[in-house]
A and B are shown apart, each in its own frame.
Chain A
Amino acid sequence: MLLVIIRTLILYVAVVVVMRIMGKQEIRQLQPFELVVALMVADLAAIPMEDTGIPLLSGLAPITVLMAAQITMSFISMKSEKARGIISGSPSVVIKNGRIVEQELRRLRYSINDLLEQLRVKNYPNLADVEFAILETNGQLSVIPKSQKRAVQPIDLQIPTEYEGLPLELVVDGVVIHKNLRLVNLTEDWLRNELSKLGVKDLKKVFFASLDTAGKLFYQPKADTSGGRV
């Protein structure tokens, strides 16, 4: 039993490290060859995990070799357009200038119902509102609506807007993120002072605090154990 626990932990660490090395592609929408690798890695780790008769290396060796193969494939598809087409395929235009490309749907074995379903998921229940729809290599449908049907943007109304950057996290679960404070040339004393103006005396009692690009401080105190606010 102890053996199983130790082997499980070793394989778990190995799979996490391998997935991290393989990159973010493995946890977002997968390309076909990435999906294959993810499935195989999971299976290869599970077998020696439950069967102590199989040497651990029989699981670790193929997992790391798959990692190497996957990174090589990614490198090749990044460097060569032709290889990318072969390895990942190419996007397919299924609606062009407002008209369904029947031939493409047939080639992809993608039914009109699948297409309508995906359009509804993307918030386009009416096919007539769509100018272009492209089936991406990862299976996702990208939709470009007709210009009259897209959401109004400030530029359409000629409304000036201010810069909006990313808000900076300053406190997470009572811990001050000094790195972010330094980025905006502020100190913990400043934060303490600002929060005390809002009635917060102890930073440890702040669940989350952030500063937006307009300089507005947002905070949420930790809930107390009785269910109320601190």
Chain B
Amino acid sequence: MKIYAVVAGVLIFWVGLGFYTIDRFQGNATQMLDEIGRTETAIFAARWDEAAASIDNIKRAWEKHQRWWNVFIDHDEIDNIDTALTRTEQYVKARERVLATGELAVLKLMLEHIPEKERVSLKNIF
């Protein structure tokens, strides 16, 4: 009977971890997307110092969340986010409005895409 308890435990653990992961991805992404929204507003208003500070906030948040994301997400996707973040930072430093907003849009898409990809839906299953 012990083996069936182990089986039940394993299944409960994975299902629980699955739901927790989706929730955490969503929470982390929302936090960073909010900050990206503030960065965008600052760039459009040409408040470059404010945009740079906002990028720093995104980087700090990403460094914190990245450790968790690395365990579950394809490492290539993590690298893509790192690359987009570094590019945006440089464009903001160079005060390149078009390039910075373009790269921010890519970053936004990637951050929205990962929690979306993990969600339990017919689209993702099939």
Q: Are B7 and A72 in contact (CB under 8 A)?
A: yes
Residues of A within 8 A of B71 (CB): 55-57
Q: Which of B100-114 contact A (CB under 8 A)?
A: none
Q: Are B11 and A55 in contact (CB under 8 A)?
A: no
Contact stretch, chosen from B29-37, B45-53, B57-65, B72-80: B72-80
The CA-CA distance from A54 to B72 in the complex, in Å, is: 9
Indicate if A40 sits at the interface (CB-CB under 8 A): no
Residues of B within 8 A of A55 (CB): 70-75
CB distance from A51 to the nearest CB of B (A): 9
Closest CB pairs A-B (n = 3) = A53-B75, A68-B7, A71-B7
Q: Which of A175-197 contact B (CB under 8 A)?
A: none
Return the contact of A65 from the options B10, B70, B72, B73 (Cβ within 8 A). Answer: B10
Q: Are B11 and A65 in contact (CB under 8 A)?
A: yes
Using known A-B contacts A55-B70, A64-B14, A65-B10, determine if residue A71 contacts B75 with beta carbons closer than 8 Å: no
Q: Are A68 and B10 in contact (CB under 8 A)?
A: yes
Give B residues with C-beta under 8 Å from A.
3-4, 6-7, 10-11, 14, 70-76
Indicate if A21 sits at the interface (CB-CB under 8 A): yes
Residue tally, chain A, CB below 8 Å to B: 16
Q: Are A21 and B14 in contact (CB under 8 A)?
A: no
The CA-CA distance from A52 to B70 in the complex, in Å, is: 11
Q: Are B10 and A54 in contact (CB under 8 A)?
A: no
The CA-CA distance from A12 to B72 in the complex, in Å, is: 20
Residues of B within 8 A of A56 (CB): 71
The CA-CA distance from A75 to B3 in the complex, in Å, is: 10
Residues of A within 8 A of B70 (CB): 55
The prevalent SS among residues of B at the interface is helix
CB distance from B35 to the nearest CB of A (A): 25
The CA-CA distance from A64 to B9 in the complex, in Å, is: 11
The prevalent SS among residues of A at the interface is helix
Using known A-B contacts A53-B75, A53-B76, A55-B73, determine if residue A61 contacts B14 with beta carbons closer than 8 Å: yes
Give A residues with C-beta under 8 Å from B.
21, 52-58, 61, 64-65, 67-68, 71-72, 75
CB distance from B79 to the nearest CB of A (A): 8
Q: Are B3 and A71 in contact (CB under 8 A)?
A: yes
Q: Are A21 and B74 in contact (CB under 8 A)?
A: no
- Pull 27 A–B residue pairs with CB atoms less than 8 Å apart, ordered by A: A21-B3, A21-B6, A52-B75, A53-B74, A53-B76, A54-B74, A54-B75, A55-B70, A55-B71, A55-B72, A55-B74, A55-B75, A56-B71, A57-B71, A57-B72, A58-B74, A61-B14, A64-B10, A64-B14, A65-B11, A67-B7, A67-B10, A68-B10, A71-B3, A71-B4, A71-B7, A72-B7
CB distance from A25 to the nearest CB of B (A): 13
Residues of B within 8 A of A57 (CB): 71-72
